[in-house]
Structure 1
Amino acid sequence: MASSNQTKLAIGFMLLASLALSMTARAEQKETLGDWDVHYIAFNSTFITPDIAKHYAIVRSKYNGVINISILDKQTQEAQSAVLTGTARNLLGVSKKLTFKEISEGDAIYYLAVLPFSDQETFRIAVDINDGANKQVLNFQHKFYAE
């Protein structure tokens, strides 16, 4: 039975990841950094189902955002493993550390970080990406809304 639940969770997360990537494709939230295509999206944690949130230890709240990043080799489009660290600085200059968790599902690798926010809070986000051989910085801005 546990295997069936794990399969359901994996499928659910892959659907979430597909949604995130399709939203990314529409919004063109992709940066080419060196040899990588870095796809990123920020969204409210309430978009994640309770089962998936529990499985990945994400607290669902209208005041928690999730940052989802995937790194692909620019030539082969294969998922890349790296170490991600980052900060989110609001417009008042208050900085919050981002802690990313690597999620591997089949050939896909995603990095998730939870970011607490206030309604209509805008963050300038900087993520350091390091695979041991290459280092790049992804910068973007996102405004979160409580739902």
Structure 2
Amino acid sequence: MSRPLSAALLFAAAVLASVGAMAQQSERFGPYELHYSVVNTSFLAPEVAAQYGIVRGKKRAILNLAVREHVEGGASEARTMLIKGHTKDLIQAQDLSFQEVREGPAIYYLAPFKFINREWRFFKLHFRPEGATETYTFEFKHQLYVH
């Protein structure tokens, strides 16, 4: 197995393990489905974090996004996207800086941020999938804990 592919599998496993019993989160926008998760970076193996340039820490997390387009025949295909966004709590806001990651057919976007224990983070994202004629806005909140 190639090193980048094995790192991608380790990263995916770390993300899935950190989500635990929580169902995959996604939201539908016309023919597009935005998949999202928030992961505390302390769940990532050091070598996986290093591979993607992610700083691990108890008060650091990443937002992981991917968009898929539903096509004929019931299948879906990964799409690139233009994306901007920010996160805030009750005191401060942070612009999110996204890194595009491509591993085989998978395309996802990672944005690191800092947080305070037990706080609710509010996210607002504007994204335009490849081939779309519209920019979509998505907002959600997520509570974070130090592990």
TM-score range, shorter chain: 0.7 to 0.9
Identity %: 30
Q: Helix, strand or coil for the counterpart of 2:28?
A: strand
Q: Aligned-pair distance for 1:67?
A: 0.6
Say how many residue pairs are matched: 142
* 2:82 is aligned with 1:83: yes
2:66 is matched with 70
1:110 is matched with 108
Change (3 A) 1:42 1:30: same
Map of 1:132-143 to 2, 5 A cutoff? 133-143=133-143
* 2:145 is aligned with 1:145: yes
Residue type at the aligned position of 1:74: H
Q: Aligned-pair distance for 1:15?
A: 2.8
TM-score when scaled to structure 1?
0.85
* 2:41 is aligned with 1:45: yes
Q: Give per-residue Cα distances to partners, 1:44-90, cap 9 Å, x unaligned.
A: 00111111100100000001011111101033311010111101121
For structure 1, the residue ranges without an aligned partner over 5 or more in a row are none
Which stretches of structure 1, 4 residues or longer, exceed 4 Å deviation after superposition?
22-26
1:12 is matched with 10
Q: Aligned-pair distance for 1:33?
A: 1.3
| Alpha carbons 2:5, 2:103 under 8 Å: kept | no
CA distance in 2, matches of 1:146, 1:14: 21
Task: State which of 75, 97, 100 in structure 2 corresponds to 1:99.
Answer: 97
Task: State which of 124, 127, 139 in structure 2 corresponds to 1:126.
Answer: 124
CA distance in 2, matches of 1:82, 1:57: 21
Bigger shift: residues 26-35 or 37-46: 26-35
- After superposition, the CA RMSD in angstroms is 2.3
